[in-house]
Chain A
Amino acid sequence: MQRVRTAPPRYWLVAVVVIFFVGFPTVISSFLASEWAQALILAIAIMGLNILVGYSGQLSLGHGAFMAMGAYISAILAHQYKVDYLLTIPVAAVTTGMVGFLFGVPALRLSPLYLALATFALAVVSPSIIKRPHELTGGVQGILIAQPDPPPVVGDLFTTVTGTAMTSDQWIYYIALACALLLFWLAWNLSRHRPGRAMRAIRDGEVAAAASGVNVAGYKTLAFGISAFYAGTAGSLFGLSTGFISPDTFPVSLSIQLLVGAVIGGLASIPGPLLGAIFAYFLPIGSNQWVPSQTWLPEQITSTVKNAGPAVSYGVVLILIMIFAPNGIVGLIRAGYANLNRRLRGAGDRETGQIPPDPQTV
């Protein structure tokens, strides 16, 4: 019998990454910190999608709609009922999670294809549904969200380290980082224990999983609920970091961006969503800024590329990754590492030294 081996968690690497993200805002500008905060928020939403798509094998193209829901719950609570915004984040997360759980019930009956179709329709329709109750959601005008000032303790600590006062953007970065760390830790635990194993079993063979006593319906809806919980948290934080939400903050392309991030990073992996989020967030920004900065190109071309660049680069990357590296960046790194290991150890003990290649996850 072949023993299933996974790479042992490398705690030193995790520590390096955490220290990097904690220290990062002290060396970059406040504006860059707010960009990285959004990348982290995207990472949370992508982790949610990763749990659903990567682990439980259900495809959702409508996670932007769950993000919108989380953002609007927080914004309405803070704006209309004057609740402290930070307190609304868990409320938004739990409510969205419950809605996701309920959404998972009819989703059980659908084949993956129909589920993709229904969630895609949800993503397309959600902006026009949000506009409807405009006394609640502000209609097209959206809702302004006041960004909180850092509490004195944290602000003073930051000032002693960097010598400058902490801006609210930097404070929001740390809120996002704290949420991301907590949720990634939860996802890591989830993936290693009973629910994670059950979900993967369902993904790889529903009938076999059911025959082995896995509660297929329960875990599938649970995956939907958890995934919406993540998306709701991310949406709520997203509103906080942009300071303004409107129906057009959550277009279909946001749902696509989430999917791109999940796929590029590597499905069914814990570091994948983080890598994918950084890539998916900075790819359009990069392609937006690089081309227009080339002054030798005629104005017309640069303005078109500014508009079309993100879509084209997303499309190309998505297709190429799916064809050539279905396990994403993480898959590539693992394959490269295994390859290197094999070469270093020589051909003699090739059978014992390598990590078995991951099965295709999608």
Chain B
Amino acid sequence: MQEFLQLVVSGIATGAIFASLALALVLIYNAMGLVNFAQGEMAMFAAFIAYTLINHGMSFWIAFPVTMVLAFGGGILIQRIVIKPVERAPVLTLVIITLGLATLVNGFAGFIWGYVPRYFGSPFSSDSIDLGGVFLNERDLGVIGVSGLVLLAVYLLLQHTTVGLTLRAAAHHPEASRLLGVHVSWMLALGWGLASAVGAVSGMMVAPILLLEPNMMQTIIIYAFAAAVLGGIESPLGAVVGGLVVGVVINLAGAYIPNAGDLQLAFGLGIIILVLILKPNGLFGRAATRRV
């Protein structure tokens, strides 16, 4: 039982990382009805930026917000340069463009930092806290805490500020918003920036666990897809819940199913396919209606 609880807590910690990345996916999906295949690579790039800042003597807790701001700017930049020219293109075009973006960012990171895995120090100590016989790793708790704060901040921003309201309005009713004087295109850029910043958190949280290298996020993005699909791809709350569920399931499966090691990723695929077949709208999504 103790082992089970420990596994659940470390699963929640991994799940919190998936949740941040899944939330980033959901933000962009809500803004323009598109799954951003480059989200993981953008997060990886942000982690590399944080790594460079820390290597230049910055402490992690200063590098963290600085990287988020840089990622925010980067997201806006990408939207302005790459996405804006094809804003109204069919969804297939957009998907192919984000794939191109993913390969480009991946190659670019390899170009700058090379493909040798690097050690990214964790900001948390590796001590354990004894909680009634259950040993909780401080790293796990730290990851849960940081991700939780970021997710809470995004929630507050979206639901309780004017910017958040405008952002949601521009995403859901672009025409009406335009008539009311909202710069819809810039709001989309803002959405990209926000998603990029939230994704960056997942990159910085996952880098100490895995080693930092350009292909680091390739598996994480699959789990994030699974999380977003499970939660219903348009629901921010769903992304968070989905992320936590996927994290816990993967962790338990890895521990209790013998020789599951390299098949963990297949569980991610399994979750995606099962949800898409059984309940395509996910746990929190609304049934899609189509205007003919």
Contact with A along B121-147 (1 / 0, CB 8 A): 000000000000000000000000000
Beta-carbon contact of A314 and B103 below 8 Å: yes
Kindly state the separation between the CA atoms of A120 and B269 in the bound complex, as whole angstroms: 9
Beta-carbon contact of B104 and A116 below 8 Å: no
Kindly state the separation between the CA atoms of A253 and B215 in the bound complex, as whole angstroms: 11
CB distance from B201 to the nearest CB of A (A): 22
The answer to whether the Cβ of A129 comes within 8 Å of any Cβ in the partner chain is yes
Beta-carbon contact of A125 and B265 below 8 Å: yes
The answer to whether the Cβ of B48 comes within 8 Å of any Cβ in the partner chain is no
The answer to whether the Cβ of A309 comes within 8 Å of any Cβ in the partner chain is yes
Given contacts A106-B277, A113-B35, A315-B104, contact A59 B218 (CB under 8 A): no
Chain A, Cβ-Cβ closest to B111: A308
Residues of B within 8 A of A308 (CB): 107-108, 110-111, 115
Given contacts A116-B35, A131-B262, contact A318 B276 (CB under 8 A): no
Beta-carbon contact of B100 and A315 below 8 Å: yes
Given contacts A118-B272, A128-B266, contact A304 B100 (CB under 8 A): no
Residues of A within 8 A of B37 (CB): 116, 120
Tell me whether chain B's interface is mostly helix, strand or loop, or mixed: helix
Kindly state the separation between the CA atoms of A131 and B33 in the bound complex, as whole angstroms: 36
Chain A, Cβ-Cβ closest to B113: A304
Kindly state the separation between the CA atoms of A110 and B89 in the bound complex, as whole angstroms: 20
Given contacts A121-B269, A125-B265, A326-B93, contact A109 B292 (CB under 8 A): no
Candidates B33, B100, B110, B266; contact of A307 at CB < 8 Å: B110
Residues of B within 8 A of A350 (CB): none
Beta-carbon contact of B101 and A315 below 8 Å: yes
Beta-carbon contact of A128 and B265 below 8 Å: yes
Given contacts A59-B92, A59-B95, A362-B96, contact A113 B34 (CB under 8 A): yes
CB distance from A220 to the nearest CB of B (A): 15
CB distance from B74 to the nearest CB of A (A): 15
Given contacts A124-B219, A124-B222, A362-B92, contact A114 B276 (CB under 8 A): yes
The answer to whether the Cβ of B102 comes within 8 Å of any Cβ in the partner chain is yes
Residues of A within 8 A of B34 (CB): 113
Given contacts A112-B91, A362-B92, contact A310 B107 (CB under 8 A): yes
CB distance from B102 to the nearest CB of A (A): 7
Residues of B within 8 A of A86 (CB): none
Beta-carbon contact of B218 and A252 below 8 Å: yes
Residues of A within 8 A of B104 (CB): 311-312, 314-316, 318-319
Contact with A along B84-120 (1 / 0, CB 8 A): 0110011111011101111111111011001100000
Candidates B89, B114, B225; contact of A117 at CB < 8 Å: B225
Beta-carbon contact of B272 and A117 below 8 Å: yes
The answer to whether the Cβ of B198 comes within 8 Å of any Cβ in the partner chain is no
CB distance from A334 to the nearest CB of B (A): 19
CB distance from B255 to the nearest CB of A (A): 18
CB distance from B18 to the nearest CB of A (A): 14
Beta-carbon contact of B222 and A259 below 8 Å: no
CB distance from B85 to the nearest CB of A (A): 5
Given contacts A57-B92, A122-B269, A124-B218, contact A109 B276 (CB under 8 A): yes
Residues of B within 8 A of A314 (CB): 100, 103-104, 107
Contact with A along B146-163 (1 / 0, CB 8 A): 000000000000000000
The answer to whether the Cβ of B288 comes within 8 Å of any Cβ in the partner chain is yes
Kindly state the separation between the CA atoms of A131 and B265 in the bound complex, as whole angstroms: 13
Residues of A within 8 A of B58 (CB): none
Residues of A within 8 A of B280 (CB): 109-110, 114
A-B contact pairs, 15 of them (CB 8 A): A57-B92, A109-B280, A112-B95, A117-B35, A118-B272, A118-B276, A124-B219, A125-B269, A128-B266, A256-B99, A259-B96, A312-B103, A314-B103, A319-B100, A323-B86
What 8 pairs between A and B have smallest CB-CB spacing?
Answer: A315-B104, A311-B107, A318-B100, A312-B107, A308-B110, A315-B103, A308-B111, A319-B100
Q: Apart from A118-B272, A307-B110, A311-B110, list 4 A-B contacts with CB within 8 A.
A: A59-B96, A315-B102, A318-B97, A322-B100
